[in-house]
Amino acid sequence: MAAVESLPNTDPPPRKMPRDARRQQLIEATIETIARQGYSRTTLTEVARTAGLSHGLVNFHFQTKDKLLVEVLLYLAEEYRANWTGAVEAAGTSAPEQLHAMLAADFRPELCTPARLSAWCAFWGEAQGRPLYQEKCGSNDEEYNRILEGLCARMNAEHGYANDPTRTARVLRVTTEGVWLDMMTMQAPYDAEEALATLMTCAAAFFPHHFDARGLLT
């Protein structure tokens, strides 16, 4: 018997879902909408259309566009923080292992998606999104910078480097942000693998005995 080709699932989302699951569904739909429409042109109606749900259901969960965008930013911020902190905790105890894990975490496939990168760029770059980002994510950024600077200082103390840890961490951070932006805005963007290799090349400039473009030297 000939194999039957499977068809994509076109069934509408179930009408009844747990409240948290429904909110997450709407947040994911908002991320997709921001990626497609931009920050200022995202509307509750468009989010509902993306999710395949009614406008009234979006209103029920979030009331206004501003509240929805706050929830989306908080969701992305916690996802990002859990990603890099989890990577550092799962790495070995050495500074090179933890530094590599922290840098590489930004390019995990589940995090480094076109929709998520576009949403982050929208919150960073559009005038309406910047105050919200600063208010909600400033403390997360401070923690990230503190840990990254600490690892760069440990590389000096434990492995004989003499780099300014604050400047080194800053260059690594802006390189990460720069390749994320490149992946979104270049006419012929490179992929996450090349982006990570670019960042590791930057790390190798500061810590040549421990990194090269392929990552952590063993």
Per-residue pLDDT of the chain (218 residues; tens, 9 = 90+): 333 333 334 444 455 567 778 889 999 999 999 989 888 889 999 999 999 988 888 888 898 988 898 899 889 999 999 999 999 999 999 999 999 999 999 999 999 998 999 898 888 776 556 677 777 787 888 999 999 999 999 999 999 999 999 999 999 999 999 999 888 877 667 899 999 999 999 999 999 999 999 999 98
pLDDT per residue as tens digits for the range 95-140:
999 999 999 999 999 999 989 998 988 887 765 566 777 777 878 8
Q: pTM of whole model > 0.85?
A: no
CATH number given to 65-216: 1.10.357.10
- Judged on CB neighbours under 10 Å (0-12, 13-18, 19+), 18 is exposed
The domain limits of the chain are 65-216
